[in-house]
Amino acid sequence: MVFSSLYFVYLFLAVVFLAYYTRKSLKQKNIVLIIASLVFYAWGEPIWVIMLIFSAFFNWSMALKIGKYKDKSEAKIFVGAAIGVDLLLLIIFKYTGFIVENINMLLHISIPVPQIVMPIGISFFTFQAISYIMDCYWETVPPQKDFYKFLLYLALFPQLVAGPIVRYSVIEQEIDNRKATVVDISEGAMRAIVGLSKKVILANNLYAVVQEFFGKDITDLSFLGTWYAVILYSLYVYFDFSGYSDIAIGLGRMFGFHFNENFNYPFICKTISEFWQRWHISLSSFFRDYLFYMPIFGKQRKYANLFLVWFCTGLWHGASWNFIFWGLYFGVFIFIETKIGKKRMKKWNKVLTHIYSKLIIIIGFGIFNFTDLSQLGRFFMNITGISMITNGNAFGDIITWNSLLNNIFLIIFAIIVSMPVIPKIKYFFNEWGNNIVYTVGKIGGTAICCWLLVMSSILLVDNTNNPFLYFRF
């Protein structure tokens, strides 16, 4: 089941909301959420619920052992066992085919490539489990004694299949002590509606335009056509994933949970380091806290750890070389920025830093898009203009121009929404200090959200396949 479906919005969510708020005790409410989360996960592939429950039970029991033997050598054994099994399952389901393909290529052999179906969301709930194990070992959080409460944490449906990667410490207290107010429910619902509209109104339409250019062989694509398509692809990925995160955060708040932000207007960044402080924050902070500071061969090596982090960041996104290149690509620029230093970069001209960062980011999304390495090579030939010399490609073309004219309002609106314009408008109405202005803002905001919900619902009527991009990770 996906958030961007009428079944979820008007049936599943409505039933869960009603069942949840007709329960009196928090324990009953938690059980409702557990059942709803397992049903949500089992909607497409029921068999993988067994793996989800196994992962929850295994990590829960390992954490109890870690807590029992804390400050003893046995604790390290259980940490290693837990993380080892978690990563082994992730490798088996996500990377086996990729590994076999590369072995065949390197050794010129023909081992049958296994066709293993990857459980949806495995990258997300595996990393949540690892963060919990490490936090228990570091005594950041105490091990959860009740299995059903840990299962609620790991399987909570708003963030189960595509994040954000919620750490146990974030919602530890709210599992046992939370109360959703009318403000929480209304603000959460509005946040979820905004996220849904990002996906349905912006991301889906941007993707349709991108497919006209990147959905086929790009050998003859013009220089401007390539830049046009990759810019729109960058916006598409942002609205698709940030839209999901908005829905997850909004739904969590409707049930009394407060997840951390996962996106903070990343396109306003001036450096690549700042971009990753604003983009997919839960993933970048995971690697920062659980991998970057880890000693390699008994010693913490700053730059070796840096490239290990970015290798893993790329690999986490998919079993394909382009994702590894994508991660290392950003790692190289963060390495360069680290060597230059923050103080020096702050002295750079702001216009130039914005141009620099956007060029790097947009080209990076091109690497992210093309899993076919031959197409990726053509992308670089096109975007650098080399193909105009070697292949006689055009600088521009009428198809690109017509597409730009036909979608100009969509593009302008997408660019505006990707900037922190809405928060400033909300700040104006909330902090003006005038009750009339505040009331107008509240009524206007509610009316806009209702309109967005209606528009999104209309667009979803004939659109039955709306998977979010990050479902495949």
Q: Which residues are catalytic?
A: 317
Neighbours of 263 (CB within 10 A): 20
Long-range own/partner contacts, residues 283-287 (CB < 8 A, 24 or more apart) = 283/127, 283/163, 283/165, 283/313, 283/316, 284/313, 286/127, 286/131, 286/165, 287/312, 287/313
SS3 239: helix
What are the angstrom distances between the C-alpha of 201 and each of 26, 210, 219, 306? 36, 15, 30, 37
Q: Which residue, chain included where needed, has tokens 């593009």?
A: 411
- Cα–Cα distance between 120 and 53 in angstroms, integer? 14
In this structure, which amino acid lies at residue 173? Q
Tokens in use for 427? 């700040």
**Signed CA dihedral, 381, 386, 392, 396: sign only:** positive
What are the angstrom distances between the C-alpha of 453 and each of 53, 95, 198, 264, 448? 34, 38, 11, 23, 9
3-state DSSP percent of the chain in helix, strand and coil, to 5: 75, 0, 25
CB-based burial label for 245 (10 Å; 0-12, 13-18, 19+): buried
Q: Are 151 and 182 in contact (CB under 8 A)?
A: no
- Cα–Cα distance between 289 and 128 in angstroms, integer? 13
